[in-house]
Amino acid sequence: MKTQVIHVRHPIGPCAFKEPGRAIREGEVVAFPTETVYGLGASALLPEAVLSIFRLKRRPADNPLIVHLASKEDAARVAIQIPPVFHVLYEAFSPGPVTYVMMRNKDTIPDEVCRLSTVAVRFPSQVAARALIEAAGVPIVAPSANISGKPSPTRASHVLQDFDGKIPYVIDDGPCEVGVESTVLDILSDPIRILRPGFVTAEMIYKRTGLRAVSWYEHSEDGEKDFPPAPGMKYRHYAPSARVFIVMPREGETLDKTFSDALVAFDSPKAALEDDSAESSCEKNEYDMSVLAPAMDTVIHNAFLNEHSLEKRGIFTGDRTWRALIARLDEDLAGTLLPYTYAGEHDIKSATQSLFDALRTFDDQKVDAIFAEGFSEPDAAGYMDRLERAASGEKTEEKSILLPRQILFLCTGNTCRSPMAEALFNDRRVDGWIAVSAGLAAYPGILISPGSSEVLHEWGIDADAHRAQPIDDQLMESTDLIVTMTDAHKDILVRLYPDRVDDIVSYSAFTENQKDIDDPYGFSLTSYRATRDRIQEGLDRLLEELKRRF
């Protein structure tokens, strides 16, 4: 079959979609643009046509389709017992990116569309979509026009990647305006529930209608999470082949700085190794993954293990953030980055519009990892839902998203106590945390003391890749909590960084009898063991403190 691409000319004449309209009416499949994403359309009245959509998309049969209508009056054809809230919501959001779940009219809408007693209905606002539905003269089922599991298409070229030669028509009206799928609302429950987050958020619903909408996920009954009321939510969606990391903005910090920290943190095992060989006469040690990586979030950890394939990274953010980021990074690191930028800076609307195209573009460029801008604003629920799915294939808790927090252990020379504390902490694999260490008077590049190394090896921990480093502004800035080995260290550090006083604690807060961790340097292995055991003994209390604070 040859696929004909119909380029839309505006204004759209009354006969423009006569042919694709007829094709749909007669049971064929036509891809067309909507304001959310491109849809793969077929007549909702013809079971065979509906089934062909499932086959084309390789969509699981229990994931029902949304029925698209051109006018409000048509709702009574496909749904029964329409609740009064429908009219309120329709006035506020339709035509537009909202889908309403109502009782299905089984006389018109076959089980193939939806095996439930309900039906999902939407009224797109995109002019070509409306013209096509009118030309077809039938309700149109239209899931996103992609093979299941790929990012949704937001341009006609995306549709052709999956369906060229498999369907008779693709209507091309340029990039989609919204860029993520519609918000699916269960309007039969009270309060109404958001079954799938989308462009329209609970805040927008409340502002425009005074109606409270709750997320089904947060208001689900026992077991419902395994059987979501929108069956599609249990499937992995929008997953590019590259690993995706979400860079969440941090308070009081510019986004380019956060991106830069994320990239440097991501690179640090390599960087540590390279710096050593270049600048010190220390014997070059293979970097030992067990030292730094274990405490990192597992996603990042896995990426470390794939270190060698991590050559190209895609960066998705605003063009202003990108320019500031590039100015921050050294050339080597900057050279590994491929940007996909939207116009502006931290702009949820533009970011949403470009997200899926960015994911696809990075896939085409075969990048190994994608760093994408995250948004914590409430109106970003739809964007974040899609991005989190791309990142992990499932809904992730916020804590497992980049960046991990950093704890820094501080002693004098950074060769005995603080590297031990760092290694013992990282050995615990604390979710969302990574430990580093430094000294108030450390010589850069000095190895871990043989005593510390040995007593850690006794516990199966290898910290031999450690190199001493002095504390400095940059380290302080990237650290969330500093734990000093003694009260004296704490006093000195607080004098150096008075505005960080709340973030500096002494290990004595976690030991029995509030005693310092004394320096074993120059003493026998017995002393090193005692130091190790005292640090270990305080760790549980330290972890409780982390939970309390963060």
Residues that bind Mg ion (CB under 5 A): 144
Minimum distance from residue 379 beta carbon to Mg ion (Å):
22
Owner of token pair 């209507």: 171
Nearer to ligand AMP by Cβ, of 121 and 411: the residue is: 121
Looking at the Cβ atoms of 33 and 404, the one nearer to ligand AMP is 33
Minimum distance from residue 386 beta carbon to Mg ion (Å): 10
The torsion angles phi and psi of 144, rounded to 5 degrees, stand at -60, 145
Instruction: For residue 26, count CB atoms less than 10 angstroms from its CB and return exposed for 0-12, middle for 13-18, buried for 19 or more.
Output: exposed
Of the pair 57, 467, the CB lying nearest Mg ion is at 57
Q: What's the closest the beta carbon of residue 104 comes to ligand AMP, in angstroms?
A: 7
**121 or 128: whose CB is closer to ligand AMP?**
121
Give the residue at shortest CB distance from Mg ion.
144
Shortest Å distance, C-beta 493 to Mg ion: 53
Q: From its phi and psi, is residue 80 left (phi > 0), alpha (psi between -120 and 50) or beta?
A: beta
Q: Which is nearer to ligand AMP, 97 or 314 (CB)?
A: 97
For 67, half-sphere exposure in the C-beta direction (CA atoms, 13 angstrom radius) is 32
d(CA 517, CA 116) in angstroms, rounded, equals 64
CA dihedral 211, 217, 221, 225 (to 10 degrees): 150
> What is the closest distance, in whole angstroms, from the C-beta atom of residue 152 to Mg ion in the complex?
5
For ligand AMP, the closer CB: 39 or 419: 39
Q: How far apart are CA 74 and CA 54, in angstroms?
A: 24
118 binds, among Mg ion, ligand AMP, none (CB under 5 to 8 A by kind): ligand AMP
Compute the CA torsion angle 248, 254, 256, 261 (nearest 10 deg). Answer: -70
Choose from Mg ion, ligand AMP, none: what does 451 bind? Cβ within 5-8 Å by kind.
none
Q: Which is nearer to ligand AMP, 171 or 435 (CB)?
A: 171
Centre a 10 Å sphere on the Cβ of residue 65 and count the other Cβ atoms it contains: 26
**Plot region of 252 (φ>0 → left; ψ -120 to 50 → alpha; else → beta):** left
Could you say which of ligand AMP, Mg ion, none residue 120 binds, taking C-beta under 5 to 8 angstroms by partner kind? Answer: ligand AMP
Q: Alpha-carbon torsion 219, 225, 228, 232, what sign?
A: positive
Residue for token pair 């329409």: 82
Task: Name the residue nearer to Mg ion (CB basis): 65 or 367.
Answer: 65
CB 233, min distance to Mg ion, A: 11
Closest separation between CB of residue 457 and ligand AMP, Å?
A: 52
Q: Three-class SS of residue 402?
A: coil
Closest approach of Mg ion to the CB of residue 59, in Å:
8
Taking CB within 5 to 8 Å according to partner kind, which of Mg ion, ligand AMP, none is near residue 337? none
Write down how long the chain is: 550
Contact, 472 vs 410, CB < 8 A?
A: no
Query: Is the CB of 64 or the CB of 538 nearer to ligand AMP?
Result: 64
Tokens of 126: 């995109």
65 binds, among ligand AMP, Mg ion, none (CB under 5 to 8 A by kind): ligand AMP
C-beta of 469: minimal distance to ligand AMP in Å? Answer: 50
Q: Residues in the site for ligand AMP, rule: CB under 6 A?
A: 63-66, 101, 114, 116, 118-120, 143-144, 181, 184, 195-196, 229-233
Question: With CB cut-offs between 5 and 8 Å by kind, which of Mg ion, ligand AMP, none does residue 267 bind?
Answer: none
Min dist. Cβ of residue 91 to ligand AMP (A) = 22
Choose from ligand AMP, Mg ion, none: what does 531 bind? Cβ within 5-8 Å by kind.
Answer: none
- Give the residue with the Cβ less far from Mg ion, 36 or 415: 36
Q: Is 543 exposed, middle or buried (0-12, 13-18, 19+ CB in 10 A)?
A: middle
Helix (H) or strand (E) holding 341: strand 337-342
Residue closer to ligand AMP (CB basis): 353 or 406: 353
Amino acid making up residue 54: F
Q: Of ligand AMP, Mg ion, none, which one does residue 195 interact with (CB within 5 to 8 Å by kind)?
A: ligand AMP
Consecutive H or E run containing 103: strand 98-104
372 binds, among ligand AMP, Mg ion, none (CB under 5 to 8 A by kind): none
The count of other CB atoms within 10 Å of the CB of residue 316 is 26
d(CA 122, CA 118): 13
Least Å distance, CB 318 to ligand AMP, is 27
**Residue 517 touches which member of ligand AMP, Mg ion, none, C-beta under 5-8 Å by kind:** none
Q: Are strands 118-122 and 98-104 parallel, antiparallel or unpaired?
A: antiparallel
Output the residue with the shortest Cβ distance to ligand AMP. Answer: 232
Dist. CA 249–CA 116, nearest whole Å: 41
32, two tokens: 């067309």
Task: Find which of Mg ion, ligand AMP, none residue 66 binds, CB within 5 to 8 Å per kind.
Answer: ligand AMP
18-25 and 127-136 helices cross at what angle (nearest 10)? 50
